[in-house]
Amino acid sequence: MSTRRGEIMKELGLQRWRLRGRPTRGDAPPAAAVAKAEAATEAELPLDGRAAQILRMDWPQLKDSVAGCVACPLHKGRTKTVFGVGDEHASWLFVGEGPGAEEDLRGEPFVGQAGKLLDNMLAAIHLKRGKDVYIANIVKCRPPGNRAPEPLEAAQCEPYLQRQIELIKPKLIVALGKVAAVNLLRREASIASLRGKLHDYRGIPLIVTYHPAYLLRNLPGKAEAWVDLCFAVDTMRGLKNKPAAAT
Ligand code: SF4
């Protein structure tokens, strides 16, 4: 193991894991779940005028719109909006919950301790922020006290993320934490029931793992997150090897 890789695995608390090594039987996600994608169950909400407008925007229009957005109460406490960062044609999209204090100051997602861990998680599967990877959040303004976004706030912000996803066209979405997962999938569920399964977001495969901020407080969760990352890597490999559909 190279020194750098050793450091990364140490940071993750995962020295005994290897990317190429499959999870052991006890660690594997439920077999039936892995094989089959789950469709989101709830019907899509009708678009109001604002959402319809956002869903026609290009990247510059979208960035301008977010920068000046006052569509929900979160705008009152923000320092900067946190639009998202990365490769605008990325295969991988990682979605978190919302900006924290440092993200609010810098206008970039995942730049604090949780961000450092996310970068290490990416490095452990040979990915890098900005290189075939895009990182975004459910809401683009910081919820006060780092609370979870309220349903109204998430709903008002949703068209922005939806449009970002339409423009990026990722092959795979990784939802970081329950808040990201339930908002993207539009159904309430425990993170335990969502992990280890291939879900579907508007035709794009979606995998759920823990939020890095949770992993900072919960060491056993890191081993489970590693299982999720291996699952994501295997899924992406399958997606990239899949023959293009005949036109
Ligand atoms: Fe607008 Fe989203 Fe910020 Fe709310 S969180 S003000 S909807 S950009």
Structure tokens at 136: 């975004």
Q: Is 139's C-beta closer than 6 angstroms to any atom of ligand 1?
A: yes
User: How many angstroms separate the Cα of 246 from the Cα of each of 171, 191, 242, 243?
Assistant: 18, 36, 12, 9
Establish if 58 belongs to a structural domain.
Answer: no
Supply the pTM of this predicted model. Answer: 0.84
Percent of the chain at pLDDT > 70 equals 79
Q: Does residue 119 lie within any of the structural domains?
A: yes
* Of residues 76, 95, 71, 75, the one with CA closest to residue 85: 95
Measured in angstroms, how far is the CA atom of residue 146 from the centroid of ligand 1? 15
**Nearest protein CA to atom 7 of ligand 1, as residue:** 157
Cα(69) to centroid(ligand 1), Å: 6
Does 63 reside within a domain? no
pLDDT greater at residue 30 or residue 120: 120
Question: Does residue 2 fall inside a structural domain?
Answer: no
In a domain, 42, yes or no: no
CATH code where residue 178 lies:
3.40.470.10
Ligand 1 within 6 A of CB of 140:
yes
pLDDT digits 0-9 by tens, 38-71:
333 334 445 589 999 999 999 999 999 999 999 9
What spatial distance separates the first Cα and last Cα of the chain, rounded to whole Å?
Answer: 44
The more confident residue out of 191 and 13 is: 191
Query: How many distinct structural domains can be found in the chain?
Result: 1
| pLDDT tens string 111-127 | 999 999 999 999 999 99
Residue for token pair 């994501």: 232
Provide the residue range defining the domain that includes 117: 82-240
Residue 4 is assigned to a structural domain of this protein: no
- What does the pLDDT look like over 63-73, one tens digit per residue? 999 999 999 99
Handedness of CA 108, 155, 171, 239 (dihedral sign): positive
The residue among 175, 171, 161 whose CA lies nearest residue 210 is 175
The H helix count followed by the E strand count for the chain is 11, 7
How many angstroms separate the CA atoms of 78 and 140, rounded?
9
* Percent of residues, the chain, with pLDDT higher than 90: 75
Would you say residue 13 lies in a domain?
no
Does position 26 have pLDDT exceeding 80, yes or no? no
Task: Let me know if residue 161 belongs to a domain.
Answer: yes
Instruction: Kindly state the average pLDDT of the residues 217-226.
Output: 94
Q: Please give the number of the atom of ligand 1 that sits closest to the Cα of 75.
A: 6
